[in-house]
Chains A and B, each alone.
Chain A
Amino acid sequence: SQQGEEDPQALSIQEGENATMNCSYKTSINNLQWYRQNSGRGLVHLILIRSNEREKHSGRLRVTLDTSKKSSSLLITASRAADTASYFCATDAFAGAGSYQLTFGKGTKLSVIP
C-alpha cells in the first residue's frame, strides 16, 4: 500500500536556491524518513523524524512534521548541482505482531541547474 505521496512530482531550480518537497500520508506513523536516490542507484537515508518531533535539521536539510495534518516537508537550502536526485519520503508504521513496515511514496525528482 502506498502511504506517502510527494509533491511536486518534479522540481527544477537554479543552483543556490532552496528546494522544498512535501509529503502527505494517510495513517498514524511511528516515524517518517527521507531518502535520496541518484538515477538507478540505491537509496540513501537522509534523515528520520519521530512522530513526537516537529522539526529536525541535518546540515543543509530541514525536515518538518505535522502529525495533525499528516504531512512533512523537506527543505534543502543553498542547493547544489550534486543535489540533483529523486527524493522519497517513507513512513514507518506499526504493522501488527510487533512489526513495523516502511512504505515509500513515489518520489520528487529534483533537478538543480548549475
Chain B
Amino acid sequence: DAGVTQSPTHLIKTRGQQVTLRCSPKSGHDTVSWYQQALGQGPQFIFQYYEEEERQRGNFPDRFSGHQFPNYSSELNVNALLLGDSALYLCASSSPTTMPGPNTEAFFGQGTRLTVV
C-alpha cells in the first residue's frame, strides 16, 4: 500500500517564478492538507482540500493556491516566488472524517524541498 507520495522531491526556482507541487494521498484517503515547514520551525498549515474544494485555509497569501482532482490527488501552486518561500512543503492525507479527532492520524509525504534563489 503506497503511502503519501509527493513530487518532485527537490526544486530550485528563481524569485518571481511560479511552481507546482504534486501530492497523491494514501490509498483510501480523500482529504489532503498542505503544510509549509521552514528550517527550524514546525509545519504551518496552508490549506486543506476535501471533495475537490478548499475546505479551510491558513494565514497564507493568495499567491498560494491549490487544487484537488477527482482521484483525490492534489496540487499546490505558488506564484511570484519570494526568497522566504524556501521551505519543505509537506502534503498530509487523512481518512474520511468531518474534522480532526483523536483517531484522525494525518499521514505525511516525504515533502518537496523548495529553494528560491
- Chain B binds chain A: no
